[in-house]
Amino acid sequence: MKRLVVVLGACALMTVSVAGQQSDRPPTPTLGANSPEVIAAWGSQRFVDEQFGQHPRRDVVRIGSDYTLKSEDESGDLVVIGGTGTVEGRTRGDTVVIFGQSDIKGTAEINGNLVLIDTDTTVAEGARVRGDLVVIGGQFNAPADFAAGGNHVIIDNHTLGGRLAGVFTWITRGLLWGRPIVPQLRWMWAAVIVLFLVYLLVSLVFEKPVSEVADVLTDRPLSAFGVGLLVLLLIGPISVLLAVSIIGIAVVPLILCALLVA
């Protein structure tokens, strides 16, 4: 009985001692699940943002459709082909608009290059471009005090004589549809007339060879197609080998002319 009393007394003393030590420590705060002090899980997006202090870089690519980068949004590279690209927010990378229209708002901030190819562009007051500005074809309308941070290369349609005006139309209404002739394009009819005259001249001057070629294509279409395809595949490597030999550089134009005549 005395031993039991001694053991219970020792346990009571140890409990009081531990309680006294804990009372000297500052209380541990209780954190809720939504508290900002909660450490993000390893590998989560929040952990990456908190550790590296940056938002993920999101590239945007649109082909044949319009896109608007809102003022509160941010992207990496922005590429719009055959559509209208409107930039109101911030782009970390380059902004490229090809064969379409571009509207750069006053709140836009482009940290990379601004590349516009055959695109009508309007730049508002306050827009900033930190990289290079490249404009090839199309109309470029910007305030008088607008200046990009890098190099400026601007070639408008007046300098090119409007040569790029119908390229996108031919690609979308002709090439993608599997037809080389687009009736809406005037320059296409000029090309058709020129090619027709060339073919007519070749048929008149080389009447016998042309008839023989036509007979071969009629009798052996697959083998003739295979030989022609083989020649097209080999002409490139042969020209490169001749050019590497230095002496054969003068022979390359002769081979190309002979191929054209053949």
Cβ count near 12 (within 10 Å): 10
* Residue-level pLDDT at 251: 79
Strands (E), the chain: 60-63, 67-69, 74-75, 78-81, 84-87, 90-91, 95-98, 101-104, 109-110, 114-117, 120-123, 128-129, 133-136, 140-141, 152-155
Instruction: State mean pLDDT over 18-26.
Output: 46
Instruction: Read off the pLDDT of residues 76-109 as tens digits, 9 standing for 90 and up.
Output: 899 998 888 999 999 988 999 988 889 999 899 9
Say which residue, 216 or 110, is predicted with more confidence.
110
Q: Which residue has the tokens 């790029």?
A: 164
* Residue-level pLDDT at 23: 45
pLDDT tier for residue 157 given thresholds of 50, 70 and 90: low
Per domain, the residue ranges of the chain are 60-160, 206-262
* Residue-level pLDDT at 87: 93
Q: Which of 109, 116, 104 is nearest to 89 (CA)?
A: 109
- What does pLDDT average to over the chain? 75
* Residue-level pLDDT at 44: 55
Percent of the chain with pLDDT over 90: 14
Instruction: State mean pLDDT over 144-173.
Output: 70
Whether the pLDDT of residue 17 is over 80: the answer is no
Instruction: State mean pLDDT over 16-45.
Output: 46
* Residue-level pLDDT at 21: 47
Instruction: Read off the pLDDT of residues 42-56 as tens digits, 9 standing for 90 and up.
Output: 545 555 455 444 544
Instruction: Read off the pLDDT of residues 161-203 as tens digits, 9 standing for 90 and up.
Output: 555 556 666 766 676 676 777 777 777 788 889 888 988 888 8
Whether the pLDDT of residue 69 is over 70: the answer is yes
* Residue-level pLDDT at 232: 78
Whether the pLDDT of residue 60 is over 70: the answer is yes
**165 secondary structure, DSSP code:** T
Instruction: Say how far apart CA 85 and CA 65 lie, in whole Å.
Output: 9
2, HSE (Cβ side, Cα atoms, 13 Å): 0
